[in-house]
Structure 1
Amino acid sequence: MIIRPATAADLPAIDHVFRTSFCATFAHLYDPADLDSFLAGLTPEAWAAEFADPAYAFEVGEVEGEVVGYAKLGPNKLPHVAGGDVIELKQFYLLKSAHGSGLAGRLMEWVMAEARQRGAGRIALSVFSENWRAQAFYKRYGFVDRGPVTFMVGNHPDEDQVWELVL
């Protein structure tokens, strides 16, 4: 298992991890039209602009040459988080086959190191209010719940929680 900076050639693999993980965890919550609408805006082509923007950073985790997880940092756009020296953990996804492998911890170590390297004193993220596994993971790293935020999946409003970590 290795983690490394993503390349533009990794965007299709990142898309696969995102879609597979998101759908396995959440698809049952949504009308197919809402899910399709949400997923249509999250594609390798859509992420290419972020990938080219130095304000964003992508890191992938591989097992035997296959991307099985990734993390993406970028400018904070979440409410309940004061401006200033904050960076947002935009996405953090692993395939189920990578759960329990230690990859999530290695990616989170990268997230914190990269945030510090970029001058951030805080990391913010949002997580689905009923995603207990993810919430427990973030709590282990010292993230604190800052309150609810609406996260739209198509026309379906979900309640997420904004979390913040002081580095």
Structure 2
Amino acid sequence: MIRIRKAETADAESLALIGEQTFRETFGAFNTKKDMDEYCTKNFGTRIQQNEIADKNKCTLFCESDNRIAGYVQINLNAAFGAVADTSQAEIQRFYIVKNLHGKGAAQALMNAALDTVRRLNIKHVWLGVWEKNLRAIAFYKKFGFEQIGEHVFLLGSDPQRDIILHKTF
């Protein structure tokens, strides 16, 4: 059974673990160990996650399957992308589901919860960056009505990578 819940400060260690696990599952085969280690150290420590959960401009939701954390989404509630003129914007900053649940409804449930959160806050635009080579993710986001509006460089360790910017209006 899939359950979505809001992360609390006490979840910081779990968030750090699932964050690193899913990031490595998604990108480890395409990047050097050094770049992966550098990125994970800078982004997935327990203290870092405590700060992100406590940040009033962020919302972190967990996806649980059989009472285990199976993924998460972090939404930056105050993140403007320059190509969108309206200031009512949110960014889906991170969106990850464990690999063994891909295609089993967990990602759909989590995305629906993320979009519902944004809508409830009367935010009119949501955007995200996705690696140009992650075709499965791009197709998934497009099923939810996201459309490409730009691109930017995402630095993974020492490797500059091209992210496609996708956008959805409510």
Q: Paired residues, what number?
A: 167
Match of 1:141 in 2: 144
Q: Residue 20 of structure 1 aligns with which residue?
A: 21
Q: For 1:93-122, what per-residue CA distance to the aligned partner results, in whole angstroms no more than 9, with x for missing partners?
A: 000122122111111111111111222101
Report matched runs for 1:12-161 at 5 Å: 12-42=13-43, 43-74=45-76, 75-76=78-79, 78-161=81-164
8 Å contact 2:89–2:127 — kept in the other structure? yes
- Distance in 2, Cα, partners of 1:8 & 1:83: 31
What stretches of structure 1 move > 6 A for 4+ residues in a row? none
Letter in 1 for 2:158: N
Partner Cα distance (1:63, 1:149) in 2? 33
Scaled by the length of structure 1, the TM-score of the pair is: 0.93
Name the SS of the counterpart of 1:26 in structure 2: helix
Percent identity for Structure 1 against Structure 2: 27
TM-score, normalised via structure 2 length: 0.91
- The Cα shift of 1:123 comes to 0.4
1:83 Cα deviation after fit: 4.7
Shift of 1:70: 0.8
Aligned partners of 2:80, 2:17: CA distance in 1, in Å?
25
| Structure 1 spans left out of the alignment, 5+ residues | none
Q: CA deviation at 1:44?
A: 2.3
Q: Is the 8 A contact 1:69 1:98 kept in 2?
A: no
The answer as to whether partners of 1:124 and 1:164 remain within 8 angstroms in 2 is yes
Aligned partner letter, 1:71: V
Structure 2 stretches lacking a partner, 5+ long:
none
> Deviations along 1:117-152, whole A, 9 cap, x unmatched?
222101010000010110001000100111221000
- Cα RMSD for the two superposed structures: 1.5
1:12 Cα deviation after fit? 2.1
Q: Secondary structure at the match of 1:41?
A: helix
* 1:125 partner amino acid: L
State how far apart, in whole Å, the 2-side matches of 1:161 and 1:82 are: 18
Q: 1:142 to 1:20 in 2, by over 3 A?
A: same
